[in-house]
Structures are given as structure tokens and as C-alpha cells.
A and B are shown apart, each in its own frame.
Chain A
Amino acid sequence: MRPPREQRRAAVWGGLVTAVLAALIVAGSRNLNHFDAALVGYTFATLFAAFAITYRYSMWLQRPPTRMYWRRGWSVFLTPRFIGGNLVEAVRRLTLSFAANRFIFRRGRLRGAAHWLIMWGCVLAAAITFPLVWGWIHFETVPGRLDRYQIYLFGFPAQSFAVHSVIGFVIFHGLVWSALLVIAGVMLAFRRRMVDHAAVSLQQFAQDVMPLLLLFAISVTGLMLTASYTWMKGYAYDFLAILHAITVILTLLYLPFGKLFHIFQRPAQIGVSFYKDAGSREPAARCRRCGMAYAPAMMVRDLIGVERDLGFAYEMDAADGAAHYQEICPRCRRAMFGLAQAGAWSEGLTARLAGDKD
């Protein structure tokens, strides 16, 4: 049973973040002046998602290993001596890992391509729709110029552009482009999930298939909306709008629970990389049995702490005082695993041999 204190803390964080978001919606839409009432369903779904994601994130951060990495990650990142270099590195790592998905392409080209397309499709869509839903962005015709639109951000006028220009076409169809990216990515992902023997054996519907179906549904219904008002004179537009809203809202509700939560967990990868940098700057831990370096000493110390917090008792009684099983390298652990069994067999077979003599 998780202590209720952690849940209370998570709930408080969740409430706080939700409240801040709500306040920002009010402020950004100028007291709801620019808020589109038709999008209220979306708004509440995002508020719920904000609460649930924060709640879960907070619960996650309170797990001993995550807490350790969270604290250590920030403290090594913010170490004054290294902060400058760290900032540069952070940009580089964010670009390679997140913008380019390099590590995912290395896991598999098809996997990388699918993820990259879906990710950028979703990022683009989110960048457009969330500010629209929250009323943070709206368009007005430039007074006296019916062919020009003015963009307002948070109520402040920003850029203006010609309605029938290329840029206008691109901006107004932003969600079409994102939908096409997502659909292409989902197709690739489904192909992989159908033909790849590993994926077929390991995948679970709720974990792996459902998010793809949701993203696919959002993209297709969104495109149908565009098709409806562009070529079909708004045929079935209302129905499609409701259908689209349902798919989006379901996805927002699924976000904190399912596979898509990795969007929020994943940045920890960058924190871990700085933790590793810090670990490599200090002497490595040497195995108590073979004397070889096997891991950063900081990591071994931290892990011993984490294991204690988790209730493990890997402490050993060593001749030279207290010792911990973590202080033995993985290779020696494997060797000891074999030696422990071999010792018993040697004893047994030698005894059998001696028995022959008696």
C-alpha cells in the first residue's frame, strides 16, 4: 500500500497545475472573450488530463529510484561549474534524441520512421490546437483589409498574413499536415506490428495498439472535417465534428494512463545523461571480488540507498566490516552464481567417490 501522504501530495500538485492552467486559459483568452464555447469539451478534457498527468507524474517522482534521479539529475545539471557546458549539451542532446529521434532510428529504421512521423505530427497538432482551444491564439481580419488576417497571441497582436497567400494556406491547413504525418507514421507502425515477429509476440492491445488506433481516429476524422467543408459543402459536418471531438477527448483522457505517458517521462533521459556525465568524472566503483571498475561509484552509492528505501537487504557480512552485494560487479555475480552450484556438486561427487572407498 502506498502511503496516502504521497497520494495527497500528488493530488495537491495535480490541483495546483490544473488551477494554473485554468487561470492561464482565463488570462490568455482575455477573460474568455476569445474562448470558443464550442470547444469547451476539449477544454475540460485538457484540464482533466493536466490533473491526471501531474498526479501520475508526481506519484512517479516519489518512487525511490525516480526521486533519486530527479534530485541528482537536477543537482548535477545545475552545478555552477558545469552549468554552461550542460546547457549547450542539453540543446545538442534534445536535438539528437528528441528532434531527430536518433536513438529510435538505431533501434530500427522502420520503428524510427514511424515514431518520427507520429511525433512530429502530434507536436504540430498540439502546437496548433491547444492554444486555439484555450483561446490563447485567435485570428482577426485586419481592419479595412479583408484579405489579411492578424494573429493574436494571448490577446496581443502578432504577425499578420494574406489570406490567399501560400503562407495562409499552410497555416490554415496546419492540422491537415499534422494528420497526414500521423497517418503515415501510424501506417508504418501498424505494418511493423503486423509483420515483426517480436512485436507480434510482445504487443498488448491496450498498451500498443490502442494509442495507434486513437491517433489514427483523430487524424482521419480531422481530415474528414476538412474534406467536408472544402469539397462537400459541409456534408455531415456536425456529426464529424462530434466524432472528432470524441476521439480527441478519449485520447486526452487516455494520455495519463497508457503508453502515451512516455511523452512526459522521456525527458528524464536527458537528466540521466547528465547524471552519467557526473558519475564519469569521479572514480569508478571497483568490484570487491575482482577489483575491476564496473560502474560509477556515485551510482553504486545511490543505488544502495534506493535498494534500502525499497526494503531490499543486500547487505553482506564481510570480514572487513559492512559490505553490500552491490559492491560486486555483474560479471563476478554471474561467476559466483556458477561457483555456488559447482561447489555443491564437487562436494557431492567427491563424497560419492569417497563412498566407493569406504
Chain B
Amino acid sequence: MAKPAELHFFIDPNRCIGCQACVQACTECDTHRGESMIHLEFIDRAASTQTVPVVCMHCEQPTCAEVCPADAIKRTGDGVVQSARKPRCIACGNCVVACPFGVPELYEDRQIMMKCDMCYDRTSVGKKPMCATVCPSQALFFGTLDQIGQLRPLSEPVNQFRFGHQVISTRVFMMMPGGLVGHRPLVDVTAAMQDRPRERAIRLTPATTDPFSQVEV
């Protein structure tokens, strides 16, 4: 069985509230029960509550698979990049260091790389992935392009990402504010190299994002 072709995964980190429902739910998934495959990063908790959930983006041409010396990472016909094949993976860690999104994790004790496989035990039988089902902010969403279009007129799904000179196309979409800043064909990840999280995402005065700048200690 395979994931229905019309169903896609969408990520909107701007919605994320860092609650970790996705992390807790991910451990319930049968392909890696007890281990969470989703990354929820507090980018810099001292500076901000900003968080980003990262699942496998399921690249069209997965760097992880290309750099795997053991041919252990396979992409199924429905576009899902699977966790490493257990008989083959030799736990070298190339995929971990190569993945542009920082997704795979190495489990040295078991000599295996594991990563998000879009809850293949669920999606292959028509269910939604655990994380996207439970996500209370719907920063993680699983559905059709029509559905997301109707629900989120401010947003636009984008699935091209720039890393240096390399552009990667993925099966998973990132929700960009197309309705606010206009169409952008790709997300320039390396342009955010110098960005740091801010207290507030929105500037009330152009000068500062710190709403407490006037508060005396």
C-alpha cells in the first residue's frame, strides 16, 4: 500500500508553540515506537519562545540517499524517503551530516540511522501522520493542496529550498506568507545564516522588537 498521492504534508513553523505534542505523539508511531523522529527546536530559548518543528522533507533527490555508502536509504514510489534499510545501514552517519534539513539521527547502539518516514504505517493505510494529526497549532498539517488553500489564504505552500548554490525540491511544503509579501518561489535557508530569534516576531516601532525596553529593573 502507499500514501495517497493527493495528500501532502505542510509545515508552518510560525504557528508552532513548542508544546511538543508532536514529539510525544511521534513516539507512538509503530515504525519507531518509543523514539521520536521529529525535531522540535527551541531556536534560542533565552532570547525567544520561537520554536521550529522539523520532519523529513522527503526530497525529490534525497542528499541522504545519494551520500549513503550502503545504498540503505530508499524512496518509495509514493515519494516517501524511508528510514535506512536495517540490513544495509552501516551507521556511518553520512546522512546525518549531509541532510540539508538536519533530519536523520544515528543510533549507535543499534547501528542504524532512523528518521521520520511520514508515519508510513499510518499514511500507507490512509491515516494521517501522528504529529500532524495531534499538532494543536496545526503548524504541521496533512491534507490536500485544495484544503490548505482554503484554510490559509494568507499562506502559500513552497517546496523549493536554497542552500548555498543548491536548490532542493521536496515533497513536504513550507507555508510562506504569500498573501502578505507576495509570491516567493523558494525559501532561502542560507540567507537566514545571520538571523537570530527575536522576543517578538513583529515590530511595533521600527527600532526594537523588545517590548520591555522601557521597563525599569
Binding site for B on A (CB under 8 A): 60, 63, 65-66, 68-69, 97, 103, 106-107, 196-198, 200-202, 259, 262, 265-266, 268-269, 272, 275-276, 289, 294-295, 299-300, 303, 306-307, 310, 312-317, 323-326, 328-353
Min CB distance B164 to A, Å, is 4
Q: Please determine whether B66 and A310 come into contact, CB atoms closer than 8 angstroms.
A: yes
Distance A164 CA – B120 CA, assembled complex (angstroms): 56
Distance A103 CA – B177 CA, assembled complex (angstroms): 46
Given A103-B111, A337-B54; A349-B164 close (CB under 8 Å) = no
> For residues 62 through 107 of chain B, which have their beta carbon under 8 Å from a beta carbon of chain A?
63, 66-71, 82, 86-88, 90-94, 96-103
Q: Given A339-B43, A353-B204, output 8 extra A-B contacts at Cβ < 8 Å.
A: A65-B66, A295-B93, A330-B103, A334-B41, A338-B50, A340-B195, A342-B195, A348-B177
Q: Please determine whether A198 and B30 come into contact, CB atoms closer than 8 angstroms.
A: yes
> Secondary structure at chain B's binding surface: helix, strand, loop or mixed?
loop
Q: Which residues of A contact B193 (CB under 8 A)?
A: 289, 316, 328, 336
Distance A333 CA – B103 CA, assembled complex (angstroms): 9
Residue of A197, A268, A294, A342 touching B70 (CB-CB under 8 A) = A268
CB closest residue in chain A, given B194: A289
Q: Please determine whether A198 and B121 come into contact, CB atoms closer than 8 angstroms.
A: yes
CB closest residue in chain A, given B99: A330
In the assembled complex, 26 residue pairs joining A and B whose CB atoms fall closer than 8 Å, in A order, are A106-B109, A107-B86, A196-B30, A202-B31, A265-B70, A269-B111, A276-B93, A295-B93, A303-B67, A303-B98, A317-B164, A330-B102, A331-B102, A334-B39, A334-B41, A335-B43, A337-B189, A338-B51, A341-B14, A342-B13, A342-B197, A346-B201, A347-B177, A348-B154, A348-B177, A349-B202
Q: Please determine whether B121 and A336 come into contact, CB atoms closer than 8 angstroms.
A: no
Q: Which residues of A contact B39 (CB under 8 A)?
A: 334
Q: Which residues of B contact A329 (CB under 8 A)?
A: 102
Q: Please determine whether B121 and A197 come into contact, CB atoms closer than 8 angstroms.
A: yes
Q: Please determine whether B93 and A325 come into contact, CB atoms closer than 8 angstroms.
A: no
Most buried by B among A331, A334, A343: A334
Q: Which residues of B contact A200 (CB under 8 A)?
A: 121
**Top-7 shortest CB links A-B:** A338-B52, A348-B180, A330-B102, A316-B164, A333-B102, A197-B30, A348-B177
Q: Which residues of B contact A313 (CB under 8 A)?
A: 164-166
CB closest residue in chain B, given A263: B87
CB closest residue in chain A, given B86: A107
Interface size grouping (class) on chain B:
35 or more
> Secondary structure at chain A's binding surface: helix, strand, loop or mixed?
helix
Q: Please determine whether A342 and B97 come into contact, CB atoms closer than 8 angstroms.
A: no
Distance A341 CA – B187 CA, assembled complex (angstroms): 7
Distance A269 CA – B191 CA, assembled complex (angstroms): 37
Distance A330 CA – B189 CA, assembled complex (angstroms): 13
Q: Which residues of B contact A338 (CB under 8 A)?
A: 13, 16, 41, 43, 50-52, 54
Distance A289 CA – B215 CA, assembled complex (angstroms): 32
Residue of B69, B99, B181, B192 touching A63 (CB-CB under 8 A) = B69
Residue of B32, B164, B195 touching A315 (CB-CB under 8 A) = B164
CB closest residue in chain B, given A204: B76
CB closest residue in chain B, given A107: B110
> For residues 1 through 27 of chain B, which have their beta carbon under 8 Å from a beta carbon of chain A?
1, 12-14, 16
Distance A103 CA – B90 CA, assembled complex (angstroms): 11
Distance A258 CA – B210 CA, assembled complex (angstroms): 60
Q: Please determine whether B192 and A343 come into contact, CB atoms closer than 8 angstroms.
A: yes
Q: Which residues of B contact A262 (CB under 8 A)?
A: 87-88
Distance A107 CA – B34 CA, assembled complex (angstroms): 12
